A and B are shown apart, each in its own frame.
Chain A
Amino acid sequence: MDPNISLFGQMITFLIFVFVVMKFVWPPLMEAVEERRKKIADGLAAAERGQQDLAKAESRVEELITDARGQAAEILDQARARANEIIAEGKAEGQRERDRQLLAARAEIEQETNSAREELRNQVSAVALAGAEKILKREIDATSHEALLADMAQQI
């Protein structure tokens, strides 16, 4: 323990150090620390907000998906109904076409039948005429008995 003038040298030294720290060291360091603290706080707040936005967006997406599902089901129902309709229409159309063709075929058959009958009649009358001619070779004249012959042909 030998206190002496060194004490004052030490004190001055110490005061110089304190002054330098106060002027040049402390303020910039604290400023940086405070600024970073604020930055981090802002970042955390932004993250919080982002999370809220995300939750909101998710619920919106959920809503949209539900909507879309409903619409899709509706469209599907409509499509099914339309398909049934088309099938029914097709069936009806087919039915009509079939009837029409049947009718036409029948008419044709009828016509064919009639013409064949006519032909047959003519031929039979010719045959009958030929037969009668052979039987009544001499007495019967084709021209004079034509009316009779036509009548016979009609009756066949």
Chain B
Amino acid sequence: MASGADKQTPSEYVSHHLEHLSVGEGFYTVHVDTLFFTWLCGLLFLGVFWTAARRATADVPGKFQAFIELVVEFVDDSVKEGFHGPRGFIAPLALTIFMLVLFWNLLDIIPVDLIPIFAHDVLHLEYMRIVPSADVNATFSLSLTVFVLIIIYSFKGKGAKGYLQEWLFHPFGKFPLLVPFNILLNFVELLAKPLSLALRLFGNLYAAELIFMLIALLPFYLNWIPGSIWAVYHILVIPLQAFIFMTLTVVYLNLAYEKH
């Protein structure tokens, strides 16, 4: 318990750490911390990539530019493999998702107490959760956007008639009795996509954050052992989750766009 709140019980410590800095009540609550760190990550990402984009030339690239181009080409290749259609929108979308989720997840590596203590002692903010991807509002904001895009791309790729036919006759067949089952299954399938996207990311990061908190409850001379082990493992999870989110988005959009 490095937070200095020595009088807290472990459960008080954890639940305090799981409380968002928020304004408003009930449904109209706004998680200020999540929004702030989303903007921070987003602006950092945009700043870095915009700088590279402004400096981009076809000459020999500097190390910085080469690195940024590496990321961009990696995303572009992934999109090229996954999505067989015009990439003008999908590729920037995939890059944004990848980098944003990556930066969100990287915030989980910052020691759990560091920024909350700073917020508490210096800024006098009671609560502070810095990892947006451990907040369902952040993960669902991405996946619901993807959900809307899935519907838009279904119309774009198959046309209204084709999309309707898919709802009615897919996957079991054209027999009229099967139509309700088709609709039911398509409905479940459609809903499962944003749900699984958001909850996978949220679950991974929320659990990781929780485990960091539990590790922080250990005496200070012990917590670096499980802390470092968990952090190293988590370094694998961080880009993996970002990559999974991006790839599945591309795959879902391709499924929506392509005729079967």
Of the four ranges (under 10, 10 to 19, 20 to 34, 35 or more), the interface on chain B belongs to 35 or more
> A3 to B28, Cβ gap below 8 A?
no
> B54 to A5, Cβ gap below 8 A?
no
Interface of A is mostly: helix
Q: Which residues of A contact B42 (CB under 8 A)?
A: 13, 16-17
> B30 to A26, Cβ gap below 8 A?
no
> A7 to B100, Cβ gap below 8 A?
no
> B137 to A4, Cβ gap below 8 A?
yes
> B58 to A6, Cβ gap below 8 A?
no
Q: Which residues of A contact B91 (CB under 8 A)?
A: 26, 30
- B204 CB, nearest partner CB in chain A, Å: 14
- Give complex CA distance A94, B97 in Å: 108
- Using CB atoms and an 8 Å cutoff, list the residues of chain A in contact with chain B: 1-11, 13-18, 20-22, 24-33, 35-36, 38-39
Q: Which residues of A contact B29 (CB under 8 A)?
A: 2, 4-6
Q: Does B140 contact A (CB under 8 A)?
A: yes
Cβ-defined partner of A21 (8 Å) among B22, B92, B132: B92
> What string of 1s and 0s marks CB contacts (under 8 Å) between B60-99 and chain A?
0100010011001100100000000000110111011000
> A10 to B141, Cβ gap below 8 A?
yes
> A18 to B56, Cβ gap below 8 A?
no
Q: Which residues of B contact A2 (CB under 8 A)?
A: 20, 29, 136-137
Q: Does B34 contact A (CB under 8 A)?
A: yes
Between A and B, 9 residue pairs with Cβ closer than 8 Å are A2-B20, A2-B136, A4-B26, A4-B30, A7-B140, A10-B38, A26-B92, A29-B49, A32-B61
- Give complex CA distance A7, B148 in Å: 14
**Minimal Cβ-Cβ distance residue in B for A39:** B58
> B46 to A11, Cβ gap below 8 A?
no
> A33 to B69, Cβ gap below 8 A?
yes
Q: Which residues of B contact A27 (CB under 8 A)?
A: 53
Cβ-defined partner of A32 (8 Å) among B45, B58, B136: B58
Q: Does B224 contact A (CB under 8 A)?
A: no
Q: Which residues of B contact A5 (CB under 8 A)?
A: 24, 27-30
